[in-house]
Amino acid sequence: MSSGDGLAAARAAVAAIQDLESGPEALNAFLAVADVDELTLLNADGPLAGVPLAVKDNIATLDLDTTCGSKVLEGYRSPFEATVVRRAREAGAVVVGKTNMDEFAMGSSTENSAYGPVLNPHDRTRVPGGSSGGSAAAVAAGLVTMAFGSDTGGSVRQPAALCGVVGMKPTYGRVSRYGLVAYASSLDQVGTFGRSVADSARLMDVIAGHDDRDATSARRLVPDLEAAAGRGVEGLVVGLPKEYVSRLLDDDMRASINTAVDALRDAGAQIHEVSLPHAKHAIPCYYVIAPAEAASNLSRYDGVRYGVRRPGDDLVSMYEATRSAGLGPEVKLRIMLGTYVLSAGYYDEYYGTAQRARRLITEDFGRVFAAGVDVILTPTTPGPAFELGERTDDPLEMYLSDVFTVPANIAGIPGISVPIGRVRGLPVGAQILAPWWQEERMVAGAGALEAAFGVGGA
């Protein structure tokens, strides 16, 4: 082990993770940590040379297990590597660990992990958000520079906000899903975390672009998002949806969002009120479509093709025993919900209605952007991090944590969350949404907010 091999930062990261996670301040952010002697640097001159990278545990890696936070995949080692991981490594990033998450990315607090919850580094009695809570906490605690998450309904942006870091979800199709374990395939995208807008943008720049292994990845020119972070917002037209200043937003959060609006105005943006009348249907729409897709995607965890097997007297009882023991309560709930909404006789009433709502929600965004609005500003979450256990008995309350983030997944548009200071001592974020394929604008807006509030929201 020479010191000039470009692995110093990654070695330090592994040591810091082991140190923190074995002590009294442990966050439980990691499900697997790389062996220091097996760290590999593929490119010493790339844009991510030597950067310690954490990978959410639903993204396939060759040298570390991929469990999705589930018992059903305990000990599962993927025979292939996700495209995003390969691209990051080819750019010089060094994978230092796999991060804890809500089981199969279903959740908003990381309390649905089969391996115990992640704690928020700003207040260990509170959740880090979810489902990519381990990745957000790892970046917030300074354990890694960058991290991957996945965002199906807000799972990158929401934990980024609650942990005081930057998280972005690209346009659906911007990034390959090859090697991202499928939850709800029409909504899933890989997203990036960084302490700064430039860091999360640099990682996104490396992974964006068409991949022959994912037919939904687009053949689109990849912008330079890192450069866009410093572009400024002079003349940018920012839409503020009037529906988002709703009863769900507490007074302190509203005050915080108003400071973000003022900051953008001071930086040269024009602020306009806009309307997204169908956004209020986003959560019910999502909780039909996502479980429907999940019920289908998760049928593969049957004790035959993947992961653990529990014996049974015949095939069906083996399936039942495996799935009963291997899957947690929220995952089972979603599978039952999804199976129900797709069942004969109910299909059109539920799934058909949700698809029609999806179109209306998407058309709202299209109309606002076509009228000359460049980006839309919203809070990322209704409030700051909640306490561990506070919402575990109330699924609806938990689902509403994503009320501001889910519409972007439904429409497929990109979004970023950036810290804008504190509410009652805890970090909160603003979300900037952009039209399809216009990530540069949202990154420019996030850069302006970061310039006003400081990295981490100060």
Active site residues: 56, 131, 155
- The widest CA-to-CA distance across the chain, in whole angstroms, is 70
Min. distance of Cβ 401 from ligand GLN in angstroms?
7
Task: State how far the alpha carbon of 269 is from the alpha carbons of 194, 223, 226, 426, 448, in Å.
Answer: 25, 22, 20, 27, 10
104-112, 194-202, 246-254, 434-442 -> range binding ligand GLN (CB under 6 A): 104-112
- Return the SS3 of 55: strand
240 contacts ligand GLN (rule: CB under 6 A): no
Min. distance of Cβ 153 from ligand GLN in angstroms?
3
Beta bridge partners of residue 149, listed in sequence order: 191
Of 108, 192, 378, 380, the one binding ligand GLN by CB under 6 A: 108
Regarding beta strands 94-99 and 166-169, do their DSSP bridges make them parallel or antiparallel, or are they unpaired? unpaired
When the beta carbons of 316 and 396 are compared against ligand GLN, the nearer one is 396
DSSP annotation string for 171-185? -TTSB--TTBPPSST
Min. distance of Cβ 363 from ligand GLN in angstroms?
22
Is the sign of the CA dihedral 434, 436, 438, 439 positive or negative? positive
| Contacts of 339 by beta carbon, 8 Å cutoff, 6+ apart | 295
Spell out, one character per residue from 268 to 307, where the chain touches ligand GLN: x when CB under 6 A holds, - when not.
----------------------x-----------------
66-74, 106-114, 207-215, 295-303 -> range binding ligand GLN (CB under 6 A): 106-114
Spell out, one character per residue from 328 to 347, where the chain touches ligand GLN: x when CB under 6 A holds, - when not.
--------------------
Min. distance of Cβ 113 from ligand GLN in angstroms?
12
| # of chain residues touching ligand GLN (CB under 6 A) | 14
Min. distance of Cβ 69 from ligand GLN in angstroms?
11
Report which DSSP code applies to 455. Answer: G
Tokens of 243: 């529906």
Are the C-beta atoms of 165 and 456 separated by less than 8 Å?
A: yes
Four-CA torsion 163, 166, 172, 178, nearest 10 degrees: -80
Min. distance of Cβ 433 from ligand GLN in angstroms?
15
When the beta carbons of 188 and 226 are compared against ligand GLN, the nearer one is 188
**Residue 53 CB coordination number (10 Å):** 27
When the beta carbons of 7 and 285 are compared against ligand GLN, the nearer one is 285
Of 106, 228, 263, 298, the one binding ligand GLN by CB under 6 A: 106
402 contacts ligand GLN (rule: CB under 6 A): yes
When the beta carbons of 13 and 378 are compared against ligand GLN, the nearer one is 378
When the beta carbons of 404 and 453 are compared against ligand GLN, the nearer one is 404
Spell out, one character per residue from 126 to 155, where the chain touches ligand GLN: x when CB under 6 A holds, - when not.
-----x------------------xxxxxx
Tokens of 30: 């990691």
Regarding beta strands 166-169 and 189-194, do their DSSP bridges make them parallel or antiparallel, or are they unpaired? antiparallel
Are the C-beta atoms of 384 and 441 separated by less than 8 Å?
A: no
Min. distance of Cβ 182 from ligand GLN in angstroms?
11
Q: Which of residues 160-219 bind ligand GLN (CB under 6 A)?
A: 183
Taking Cα atoms as reference points, which of 135, 58, 65, 55 lies closest to residue 89?
55
Are the C-beta atoms of 301 and 318 separated by less than 8 Å?
A: no
Tokens of 40: 């590999």
When the beta carbons of 131 and 192 are compared against ligand GLN, the nearer one is 131
When the beta carbons of 184 and 236 are compared against ligand GLN, the nearer one is 184
What is the distance between the alpha carbons of residues 326 and 395, in angstroms, rounded to a whole number?
21
| Residues of the shown chain interacting with ligand GLN in the complex, contacts defined by CB under 6 A | 105-108, 131, 150-155, 183, 290, 402
